[in-house]
């Protein structure tokens, strides 16, 4: 069963092409190095698997479970994190993988958490960047080193992103029918 969508913003072939380009750029930037990909669950897992298959590098993967949307479309004020097995990243190159940069609070949280573990380098890779967002001045936001696409300020789903835990398996980025 396919949940109802209003419109497709980014079709499957454009996602594939852009992810291949990102993978080539990342591979060029770490010649002969090993890279730890830290994926922020659950939304970025589809992006992680698509990206890592195209990387011409030795990679290790790790996960961080952050949650700021509790199954609805309104953000919570606080980001939470859950402890799951996490690789030792001290003195290693780390690339944080995030599905979407909205307020930036989740990536800022993950960035601080990784930074405290003294990686050799820390960069960020987001599939989607939301335009037209008022981002809080109170939190320092991490730089976005690699970005797939910008999207308008709408609630989007697909390619890992959910609405009430549905739509994650859609192979495109779409605007859902919200209830």
Within residues 96-135, the interface with Mg ion by CB under 5 A covers 99
Instruction: Encode burial over 29-47: b for 16+ CB neighbours within 10 A, e otherwise.
Output: bbeeeebbbbbbbbbbbbb
Within residues 88-107, the interface with ligand 5GP by CB under 6 A covers 98-106
Would you say how long the chain is, in residues?
Answer: 179
Contact 117, 85 (CB under 8 A): no
Does residue 43 interact with Mg ion by CB under 5 A? yes
Q: Which is nearer to ligand 5GP, 43 or 119 (CB)?
A: 43
Contacted entry of ligand 5GP, Mg ion, none for residue 75, CB cut-off 5 to 8 Å set by kind:
ligand 5GP
Q: Which is nearer to Mg ion, 57 or 110 (CB)?
A: 110
Contacted entry of Mg ion, ligand 5GP, none for residue 174, CB cut-off 5 to 8 Å set by kind:
none
Secondary structure of residue 46 in the 3-state scheme: helix
Q: Which is nearer to Mg ion, 35 or 48 (CB)?
A: 48
Q: Which of 102, 112, 162, 179 is catalytic?
A: 102
User: Backbone dihedral region of 23: left (phi > 0), alpha (psi from -120 to 50 degrees) or beta?
Assistant: alpha
Residues that are catalytic: 102
């Amino acid at each position: 069963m396919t949940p109802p969508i209003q419109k497709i913003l980014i079709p499957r072939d454009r996602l594939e092409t852009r992810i291949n380009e990102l993978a080539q750029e990342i591979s060029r930037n770490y010649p002969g190095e090993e890279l730890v990909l830290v994926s922020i669950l659950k939304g970025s897992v589809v992006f992680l698997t698509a990206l890592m298959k195209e990387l011409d590098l030795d990679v290790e993967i790790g996960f961080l479970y952050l949650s700021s949307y509790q199954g609805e479309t309104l953000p919570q004020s606080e980001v939470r994190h859950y402890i799951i097995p996490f690789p030792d990243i001290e003195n290693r190159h780390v690339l944080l993988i995030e599905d979407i940069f909205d307020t930036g609070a989740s990536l800022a949280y993950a960035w601080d958490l990784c930074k405290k573990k003294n990686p050799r380098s820390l960069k960020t890779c987001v599939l989607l960047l939301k335009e037209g967002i008022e981002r809080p001045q109170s939190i320092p936001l991490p730089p976005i080193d690699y970005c797939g696409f910008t999207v308008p300020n709408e609630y989007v789903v697909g390619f890992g992103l959910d609405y009430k835990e549905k739509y994650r398996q859609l192979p495109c980025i779409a605007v859902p029918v919200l209830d």
